[in-house]
Each structure stands twice: as structure tokens, then as C-alpha cells.
Amino acid sequence: MLSPALDQPKSQPKWVRSLLSPDVLAPIIVGLVLLAAWELAVRLTDTPHYILPGPILILQTLATDWPTLFPSWFVTMKIAFTALVAATLSGLFVAILFAQSKWIERSFFPYAVLLQTTPIVAVAPLIIIWLRNNTFAALVVCAWIVAFFPIVSNTVLGLNSVDPSLANLFKLNKANRWQTLWHLRLPTSLPYFLAGLRISGGLALIGAVVAEFVAGTGGTQSGLAYQILMAGYNLQIPRMFAALLLITVSGITIFALLSALSNYLLKDWHASAMKHEN
């Protein structure tokens, strides 16, 4: 079966063609079908909008409540983005540290695991209290806790997955520890790091939302979790769904962007990003 992409005139730029490729069109078509089914079900059963709103109502609410929802979305995204950047930098630093010596790794790795298994729901209120003068910072810390571990774990694995022949080559050429790190171990770890980053992107967003849910904010610096809570209390269910929609779309977009970054960086040499021609 010829893919639709092959039928397009070559005059269209590559990114347009890739957007219209089966990989992108198929899930969109499935999504549209499901949304249509949802709308139909809600109308046919006459479900009240405060139980389950239909997709059309949700989109309308999103448009009308945009002035309230958009600033909150922006706050949530700021928290998630800051947490992701912090997790990336600290994750890289710790992973490189762990890769320097097996003893360091063995001694400290369990504490990195501890971070992963910490339930944010339980810890967030404490952190908010400890950082009471800076809610933003407290929420960033919570989101950082969930986003940190995948980057450390994956990057450490990558740093230790060097091709033994290449390791020998560097040894034969009397490369010092830093040359080996920079020219061999870090490039080797890039695919692993990017895999961890893709996971952490979504987790940073979830962490930002959950932390706010549990800890609460309010005022001008409130995020989408606050909007969802308030909408819930006031039975403004379509608005709640609209906020959830924003979170979902943001999560998908973050993942898509990080995947695109991964493919761009690895396109020349890693099997995950290359076209296989047989």
C-alpha cells in the first residue's frame, strides 16, 4: 500500500510532508472518530453538561474562558519548564559524577532511586511550607523530584555502555579521563540521555500539576491545577475539562518536541532515528 506521502508533489517542504504522513494522520483520524462518538453519545443520552460535557461544549468553554485559563496555563508551563531544565542540568551532572567511579555510583544511587519513589502527593505540602516565601520555587522543586530520576538513570546507563573496542582505542592513545568522558562516553550516552529526557518532559508537567493540586496556590500566580480545583467546587465542569484538555495537549506537545529533538540529534548515526532501507 503506497503511503500518501509518496503521492505528494516534491515541491512541498519536508516538514509539511512529514505532518501529512501516516504516522501523524492515523492517530489524528482515530482521535476525531472518538471525539465524534463522544459528542454523539452525550447528545443522544441527553447527559447534562455538569456530568459529562461533549467535546464541542468543551472547546467553546475553552474559547470563552481563555482569558482566565491562558495565564494559568502559562504559569504551569513555566513551572514545568524550569523543573525540566533543572532536572536536565542536575541529572547530567550527577550522572557524570556517578560514572567517574563505581564506588560513588554504588554509594549514592539508592538515594537517587529514593527520589523516584517519593510520593509527591505526600511531600508537596511539606515543601510548600519549607519554602513558604516562594511558592513558585516550591512547585519547581516538587516537579524536579519526579523529573530527575529518569535522566540520571538513563544517562548513567549510557555512560557505562561504551563499546569495549573504542574504550581500548582510547586507552591505547593514552587519553586522560576527561578526554575519554568528552569524546567517548558523553557521545555514547546521548541516545540514552535523550530517551530519559523524553520521559522526564511529561513527568515535569505532571509533577507541576499534582504538586499544585495538593499544595494549593491562589492569586495571580496560580496554575491549571487551581483552575481545575475551582471549577470543580463551582460545578463548572466544562471549564474543568477545558483545563484538562490544555494539560493533555501540552503533554503531547512536549513529548513531540523532545522526540523531534532526539531524532534531529541522532539522525545521522543512531538506529532509532535513521531510515532503514533494505
Binding site for another protein (CB under 8 A): 163, 165-166, 168-175, 179, 183-184, 187, 190, 268-270, 274
Residue 66 or 269: the one with the smaller Cβ distance to another protein is: 269
Residue 168 or 253: the one with the smaller Cβ distance to another protein is: 168
Closest approach of another protein to the CB of residue 92, in Å:
17
Residue 165 or 220: the one with the smaller Cβ distance to another protein is: 165
Closest approach of another protein to the CB of residue 102, in Å:
18
Closest approach of another protein to the CB of residue 261, in Å:
16
CB within 8 Å of 73: residues ≥ 6 apart: 223, 224, 243, 246, 250
Closest approach of another protein to the CB of residue 176, in Å:
9
Residue 75 or 159: the one with the smaller Cβ distance to another protein is: 159
Residue 50 or 182: the one with the smaller Cβ distance to another protein is: 182
Long-range contact list for 224-233, CB < 8 A, 24+ apart? 224/69, 224/72, 224/73, 224/75, 224/76, 225/76, 226/72, 227/68, 227/69, 227/72
CB neighbours of residue 69 within 10 Å: 21
DSSP 104-170: HHHHHHHHHHHHHHS-HHHHHHHHHHHTTT-HHHHHHHHHHHHHHHHHHHHHHHHHT---HHHHHHH
Closest approach of another protein to the CB of residue 165, in Å:
4
